[in-house]
């Protein structure tokens, strides 16, 4: 599908001999937010890394804007997709601003420095995640939640078309969880952008995702609209635990039984 920002066809991927997905087809279009759901160990991160081109797939096709993943050169791919990792490591000392500026590397020519425009983009990204005033702090002095927001700012500065997010609300308090999800919701509604995110909070998925991809294990998957798939029956099968689906006047709420 040429109008898809990310197009996946007949995908099979596995880890340690265990199939994560088999013959998986889905397309992510501009303005869409896909939530990837499943129990711990179901392969959500493995799938996300496969979509990002960080690990080999067993079979199938992955295309960004109609171009096969394996034919995209690293800089071109970095402009098409950005990934927020679940775990962060800071090998070298750097300030918060220096860290966020690494998101601009796909746009900087070899042996060139960041421009005033790059710095402005990085500062704007810091402002969006409530980290302005911390740009001169060393990244390893931040709390877990602040470090997560700095990673999000780095990704925003990268300006990819497809955001691949591994538990984006990890380490965040309730206020910053909702603010971050609102931020991503705004990003997908502006410009040629879409989101694929791993979530454990069903209520955030129900509120912010218009599509979901469920990983059941042994290669079984379900994909479709949130409205269609977020049912108590599907979720109980997915998590192996009873789930109640409640309704109020404005939204649906999921709670464990």
Residue 91 has pLDDT above 80, yes or no: no
Closest CA to 4 of 169, 164, 192: 192
pLDDT of amino acid 1: 47
Round to whole Å and give the CA distance between 158 and 148: 16
Cα of first residue to Cα of last residue in the chain, in angstroms, is 41
Residue 2 has pLDDT above 70, yes or no: no
Residue 248 has pLDDT above 80, yes or no: no
pLDDT of amino acid 90: 77
Closest CA to 87 of 153, 170, 149: 170
pLDDT digits (tens, 9 = 90+) for 209-225: 999 999 999 999 999 99
Decide: 198 and 20 in contact? Cβ < 8 Å. Answer: no
β-pairing verdict for 220-225 and 59-64:
unpaired
pLDDT digits (tens, 9 = 90+) for 161-181: 999 999 999 999 999 999 999
Find tokens 């780095």 and name the residue. Answer: 154
Closest CA to 234 of 205, 193, 194: 205
Which CATH superfamily is 4-87+161-256 part of?
P-loop containing nucleotide triphosphate hydrolases (3.40.50.300)
Residue 89 has pLDDT above 90, yes or no: no
How is residue 153 written in tokens? 């700012």
Residue 191 has pLDDT above 90, yes or no: no
Residue 124 has pLDDT above 90, yes or no: yes
**Residue 135, CA distances (Å) to 96, 146, 225 in order:** 5, 12, 39
pLDDT digits (tens, 9 = 90+) for 27-73: 999 999 999 999 999 999 999 999 999 999 999 999 999 999 999 99
pLDDT of amino acid 121: 97
pLDDT of amino acid 87: 83
Out of 76-80, 104-108, 111-115, pick the least confident: 111-115
pLDDT of amino acid 97: 97
Long-range residue pairs from 50-54, CB within 8 A, at least 24 positions apart, any chain = 50/11, 50/13, 51/6, 51/8, 51/81, 51/164, 51/196, 52/81, 52/83, 52/164, 53/77, 53/81, 54/83
Residue 15 has pLDDT above 80, yes or no: yes
Decide: 131 and 151 in contact? Cβ < 8 Å. Answer: no
How is residue 235 written in tokens? 């979720």
Mean of all residue pLDDT scores within the chain:
94
Provide the CB-side half-sphere exposure for 142 (13 A, CA). 27
Out of 2-6, 7-11, 60-64, 195-199, pick the least confident: 2-6
* Beta bridge pairs of residue 64: 6, 67
Find tokens 């601009």 and name the residue. Answer: 104
Give the SS3 label for residue 59. Answer: strand
pTM: 0.95
| Beta strand residue intervals within 116-176, DSSP E | 162-166
pLDDT of amino acid 128: 97
């Amino acid at each position: 599908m040429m109008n898809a920002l990310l197009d996946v066809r007949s995908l099979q991927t596995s880890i340690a001999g265990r199939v994560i997905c088999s013959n998986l087809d889905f397309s992510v279009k501009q303005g869409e937010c896909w939530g990837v759901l499943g129990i711990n160990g179901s392969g959500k991160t493995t799938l996300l890394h496969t979509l990002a081109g960080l690990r080999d797939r067993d079979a199938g096709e992955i295309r960004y804007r109609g171009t096969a993943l394996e034919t995209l050169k690293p800089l071109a791919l970095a402009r098409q997709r950005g990934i927020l990792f679940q775990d962060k490591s800071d090998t070298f000392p750097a300030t918060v601003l220096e860290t966020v500026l690494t998101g601009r590397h796909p746009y900087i020519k070899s042996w060139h420095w960041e421009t005033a425009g790059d710095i402005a983009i990085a500062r704007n990204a810091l402002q969006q995640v409530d980290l302005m005033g911390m740009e001169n702090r060393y990244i390893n002095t931040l709390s877990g939640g602040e470090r997560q927001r700095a990673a999000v700012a780095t990704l925003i500065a990268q300006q990819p078309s497809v955001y691949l997010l591994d538990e984006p609300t990890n380490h965040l308090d309730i206020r910053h969880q909702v603010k971050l999800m609102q931020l991503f919701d705004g990003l997908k509604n502006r410009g040629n952008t879409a989101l694929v995110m791993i979530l454990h909070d069903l209520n955030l998925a129900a509120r912010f995702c218009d599509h979901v991809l469920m990983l059941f294990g042994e290669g079984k998957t379900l994909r479709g609209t949130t409205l269609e798939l977020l049912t108590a029956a599907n979720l109980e099968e997915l998590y192996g635990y009873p789930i109640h689906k409640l309704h109020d006047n404005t939204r649906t709420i999921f709670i464990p039984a």
